[in-house]
Structure 1
Amino acid sequence: MLMDAKPGDYDIVTNAAPEQVARIFKRTVPVGAQFGVILVVIKGVKFEVAQFRNISGDSVEAWLREDVQHRDLTINGMAYDPLTEQIFDYVGGQEDIQRRIIRGIGEPRDRFLEDRLRMLRAIRFAVRFGYELDPATFAAIQELAPDIQEVSVERIREELLKILTSPQAERGVRLLDDSGMLPLILPEVAALKGVTQPPEFHPEGDVFTHTLLMLRQMKHPSPELAMATLLHDVGKPATRTVTDRIRFHQHELVGADIAENICLRLKFSTDAIEKITTLVREHQKFSHAQEMKTSTLKRFLRQKHFADLLELHRLDRMSSYRQLESYHFCKAKLKEFAHDNIHPPRLISGDDLVKLGFAPGPVFKRVLEAVEDAQLEGTVTTREQALAYAKEFQATGISM
């Protein structure tokens, strides 16, 4: 409210115990009842309701003054009474908003020892709002950085994604690196530093610099695209060779395996892992787009994640030697090809192949894909033509 920003959620503090809150409201979820926290859901809106840490005092203000001393950051340590429209600020939150500073409450080191995840949260809020990190707060993060390994990977993953999808993702990764947490959370990304590249294709510098430039240019990315951008070149350190020039043979394939392992380690969902690894694995194929035969190109363009893949390619090129011919070629082809041209209706089925005398088995897939390729090339357009095309395969003995 003070920053003229729409809140993402609502946190309420009260002297009511979780069991009392559960009796008052129809739908509640005990997210941390042992710590005095319960989630109240009203018309799809979630309210996190926490009990005051200490209610031994004789007034709400006394309870609140004690409570906020154990919140994480000053901008998160203020309270508002909607009935009296009164703001309670015992930690200098309003002043830090004016100064555009992220500062831990009281002794920052103590706040981070209460919950190590707060170190990531401090960086996340800094890059979300474009605020500076208070020097004492950042020094405490650097001191306690090794402790981030005590935090669950699920909580780390969520904060990492919020950093990567913030308006200052590049700065977020730099702060993670400067704090000492990046090598602990993502050693594969930290390993990109100092990995030199051929200057004719990458005048910007090493792989880490290239990756940061891509993060800087992202605009409202999906979490998966942001993660794929960060990881798209993680295969380069392992594949770097120097012959006539620096090369990274099949780094995208090696990188996809590394990205999958990272995502498994951070417990991403199965769907997210599939998308992120696909983006990493496929990002080099644009180099050959203009040479692809029509059927191959159409299959490439109709991929489920192609919109994000195309954007990853644009970011990649704009952060290196800025050649966008393949990007514009693919955009033009997407516009040129109608939906049915890229996703043609199947003209024949496995039952048709059985009737033609094909033996059931792997050959079915080969023949049906060949027929679809012919459709994509435009040489087969009717069921009769598709059956005749299949018979050609039968005549060559492919089914035997």
Structure 2
Amino acid sequence: MTTVKATPETEVERLLCCILPGTEWENHLYCVGGYVRDQLMGLDSKDLDLVVDLEGAAEAFCQRLHEIWPHCTTGPHQLGVHYPIWHIGFCRDIRIEDQTYHVKGAELDVADTQQESFPDDESRQRVTRFGTLEQDARRRDFTVNQLMRCCTTGKTVDPSGRGQQDIRDSVLRCHPDVDPRQVFRDDPLRMLRMHRFTVKYNWHPTVEVENAVAKEAHRIKIVSGERVRDELVKMTQTGNFANAIDYMHHTGLLAYILPEVDILTTVDQGTRHHSEGNAFQHTLLLLSKVDPTTVACFVALLHDTGKLATQERDGDHVRFHGHEEASGVIAGAVMRRLRFDNQTVDKVTFIVSNHMRAHHSKDWNSRAVRRFVRDMGDDLEAVLHQTEHDGQSSYGADGQPKPNIIPRLRRRIEEQLVIPIRQKPILGGQAVMDILGCSPGPRVGTAQRWLQEHVDQAACLGHEASAEEATVWLREEYDEGAADDGV
């Protein structure tokens, strides 16, 4: 086994090696899956999954651990009804004679070895029953994830005979006795996992695996939005999200999970402002530049999805007037379909809808700069980053990126921040109603916006207005008719 640093999980293995000999679980308990794979690759892993090739032994094993160390372990509980897995955690380190096992924080998922079937074509719901070690391995997606390690001897078991070599060769293949199409037909989420492994580890699926994905891609529709979301988020964390999106387009999977992005390959942008290629190629270029965070990646991914609906041609010139608003609507719909939380949906939608606004900043006066900062609020930095990377991913007819306008805008913002930019109206709604003698309604908001313009004008002249001054302005200078006309 490749040497890895000690973790609570590796300490659990050391503990098991000590306590298993002479018990009914000796030579029957195995570490499995990604935990073994990652350790053979020299990586840390916290996902410690165990299988027992004795029927009903998973529950008995967890209960026995808790009986021996009731104050060091959490109470065992079953995670699933149709696919029974027993969970137990360690809340304290364990000492046996003169040995301390630093297992605090480790979490174990333990199951009997299984064989499974998927009787319903419209569901990922599996039916399981007890199986052999070999059957348990064959139900797993790829040979690199079928590896096991005996907790008694520490010996690695390679049921397919290819898993360890495939790790060394960076190859993704299914068990040689299993049809890859059946692997993905049974559980279509495995197709997304294949793409994630490809970009995370720079692995190369076999031709048979790629062909199987192309033929079974339509099956991804039975996977819930939450599960698709989770896999996509994991892809963003690899730092290779652009490659993941491009590869999913290549295999045909993207057309089923994100058709709004896949169709961008058909959106010609012309060469005057986008000689880098069509809208999909531009999106990939942008994705390669942004930070590997969920918000930044999904903003970049969806920022131009409204271009198809807003495309206008004037000879060789292609325009997309209002595409940012259209993209914002689409982005919101996509994020909700993927079951993102409301805060993330709102944030991505807002940034996408405003990603073009700063492109016009060279013509702004100081009040416009202050208005922009106020309107962007807490998302100011995210909008600036998106705008900057978007510009650097847009190539003119000369093949060069557009001039970077953001550094100058940042300097202008910094100059304006000498006098703080108010996010809230200088006078509250009740104060405005008292001064104007009006009831709640649109008149209040109109007056507050008029006041904000005066506050900004004063700030541009180096003066920070007070609430008292705002009260005087509203009483003596406010022209409601002019304010309604936008003055």
1:303 to 377, 382, 395: 377
In structure 2, the residue corresponding to 1:49 is in which secondary structure?
strand
Contact 1:359 1:399 in 2 (8 A): no
Unaligned stretches of 5+ residues in structure 2: 1-38, 67-72, 92-104, 116-130, 396-400
What TM-score does the superposition give when structure 2 sets the normalisation length?
Answer: 0.73
Indicate how the Cα distance of structure 1 residues 27 and 365 shifts in structure 2: closer, same or farther if over 3 A, else same. farther
Contact 2:46 2:106 in 1 (8 A): no
Please, what is the CA RMSD of the aligned residues?
A: 2.9
**1:383 maps to 2:453:** no
CA distance in 1, matches of 2:483, 2:266: 53
**1:2 maps to 2:40:** yes
Q: Deviations over 1:338-372 (max 9, x none)?
A: 48613467643233324424313222223233333
Aligned to 2:109: 48
Please show how residues 83-102 of structure 1 align to structure 2 within 5 Å.
84-91=153-160, 92-102=162-172
What TM-score does the superposition give when structure 1 sets the normalisation length?
Answer: 0.87
Aligned to 1:34: 82
**1:76 maps to 2:148:** no
Aligned to 1:59: none
1:195 deviates by 1.4
Unaligned stretches of 5+ residues in structure 1: 55-61
Aligned to 2:335: 263
Indicate how the Cα distance of structure 1 residues 66 and 342 shifts in structure 2: closer, same or farther if over 3 A, else same. same
In structure 1, the residue corresponding to 2:288 is in which secondary structure?
helix
1:376 deviates by 3.5
Aligned to 2:299: 228
Aligned to 1:112: 184
Give the AA of the match of 2:134.
R
Contact 1:124 1:172 in 2 (8 A): yes
1:367 to 447, 462, 481: 447
Give the AA of the match of 2:381.
A
**1:150 maps to 2:222:** yes
Please show how residues 241-256 of structure 1 align to structure 2 within 5 Å.
241-243=312-314, 245-256=317-328
Q: Deviations over 1:239-290 (max 9, x none)?
A: 1111252111101111111222222222222112111111211111111123
1:186 deviates by 1.5
CA distance in 2, matches of 1:19, 1:349: 65
Aligned to 1:180: 252
Q: Deviations over 1:354-398 (max 9, x none)?
A: 442431322222323333343334155222212112224545568
Indicate how the Cα distance of structure 1 residues 397 and 183 shifts in structure 2: closer, same or farther if over 3 A, else same. closer
Q: How many residues align?
A: 392
In structure 2, the residue corresponding to 1:304 is in which secondary structure?
helix
In structure 2, the residue corresponding to 1:273 is in which secondary structure?
helix
In structure 2, the residue corresponding to 1:109 is in which secondary structure?
helix
CA distance in 2, matches of 1:299, 1:12: 58
In structure 2, the residue corresponding to 1:218 is in which secondary structure?
coil
1:333 deviates by 3.5
Q: Going by fraction, where is helix more abundant, 1 or 2?
A: 1
Indicate how the Cα distance of structure 1 residues 45 and 255 shifts in structure 2: closer, same or farther if over 3 A, else same. farther
Greater Cα shift, 245-254 or 354-363: 354-363
Contact 1:173 1:182 in 2 (8 A): yes
The structure number with the bigger radius of gyration is 2
Contact 2:299 2:352 in 1 (8 A): yes
CA distance in 2, matches of 1:265, 1:114: 23
Identity of aligned residues (%): 27
1:81 deviates by 4.4
Indicate how the Cα distance of structure 1 residues 146 and 387 shifts in structure 2: closer, same or farther if over 3 A, else same. same
Indicate how the Cα distance of structure 1 residues 265 and 396 shifts in structure 2: closer, same or farther if over 3 A, else same. closer
Contact 1:374 1:380 in 2 (8 A): no
Give the AA of the match of 2:139.
H
Indicate how the Cα distance of structure 1 residues 344 and 238 shifts in structure 2: closer, same or farther if over 3 A, else same. closer
Q: Deviations over 1:305-337 (max 9, x none)?
A: 222222222221121122243221233244444
Contact 2:51 2:58 in 1 (8 A): no
1:141 to 207, 213, 228: 213
Q: Deviations over 1:175-203 (max 9, x none)?
A: 21122211111111121113111312101
**1:341 maps to 2:420:** yes
Greater Cα shift, 305-314 or 232-241: 305-314
Indicate how the Cα distance of structure 1 residues 192 and 29 shifts in structure 2: closer, same or farther if over 3 A, else same. farther
CA distance in 2, matches of 1:324, 1:94: 50
In structure 2, the residue corresponding to 1:249 is in which secondary structure?
coil
Indicate how the Cα distance of structure 1 residues 42 and 271 shifts in structure 2: closer, same or farther if over 3 A, else same. farther
1:102 deviates by 1.9
Greater Cα shift, 108-117 or 138-147: 108-117
Indicate how the Cα distance of structure 1 residues 151 and 350 shifts in structure 2: closer, same or farther if over 3 A, else same. closer
Indicate how the Cα distance of structure 1 residues 354 and 236 shifts in structure 2: closer, same or farther if over 3 A, else same. closer
CA distance in 2, matches of 1:396, 1:110: 71
CA distance in 2, matches of 1:284, 1:230: 15
Aligned to 2:388: 314
Indicate how the Cα distance of structure 1 residues 112 and 22 shifts in structure 2: closer, same or farther if over 3 A, else same. farther
CA distance in 2, matches of 1:86, 1:326: 59
Q: Deviations over 1:14-72 (max 9, x none)?
A: 35345874784525664423212244455566543333216xxxxxxx94333222111
In structure 2, the residue corresponding to 1:145 is in which secondary structure?
helix
